[in-house]
Amino acid sequence: MASLARGKPRKFGERIFKTSKATSISSLTDLRKELGYGHPGQDQDIAFKRAIRHQIEQFKSTEGIPGYRLTKWTDSSHKRGLLEITRDFLDTQGKGVEYWPDRCHLDTSRPLRYHKDSAKIHRLMIKVFWRTAKEYKRHKTSSVAAAQLLSQPTNTIDRPIKAQDNSDGTDHRVLHNTPDIRGQSADNPIYLDDMPPFVQGVSE
């Protein structure tokens, strides 16, 4: 009888994957509001967000899947992992009664009570852990991409230009080959004094 009682919550929780499509799941902000933790800046809300983040970073399912990788809404092993991480957080660690305690007075900012609203809280928290894992994965992917970009070598355009090696003494300047037009007209006579001397050994 005890085993049957333990089996009911799991079967109940599994229905959420059939009745809710991934595309229709609310944002983290809206989910936190439904749970009574949608008040930015308040200490309890900040603590709640940190507890969720800590849970997905530390938890590992019975099939060895880390909490931050439970991002596949329709995958059987991921569905089991999401049920496990939720039960571990709310029941095993006692966070259910911690964050939604029973009070004798009416708290309009956090109207849910774990003793009477545990089914609704379980459903919402399954979505919260799935959404948080998706956000975690997106953030990590962006961080890795940024790190890879920073580690790339500097563009060659930014590198100093290496000076040309003229160690062989060769003058690489372009020489203009101007034709000799002396003697081709009266305006350009040939002066004998400017002529080079005869080569020695050649008869006059």
What's the gap between Cα 86 and its chain centre? Answer: 25
Residue showing tokens 């004094």: 193
- Residue 85 in tokens: 């991480």
Which helix (H) or strand (E) segment holds residue 76: the answer is helix 76-87
Rounded distance between C-alpha atoms, residue 102 and residue 106, angstroms: 10
pLDDT in tens, the chain (204 residues): 333 334 444 555 788 999 999 999 999 999 999 999 998 899 999 999 999 999 999 999 999 999 999 999 999 999 999 999 999 999 999 999 999 998 755 666 788 999 999 999 999 999 999 999 999 988 776 655 556 666 666 554 455 555 555 555 555 554 455 556 565 655 666 655 555 555 454 444
Torsion sign, CA atoms 135, 136, 139, 144: negative
Predicted TM-score (pTM) of the model is 0.65
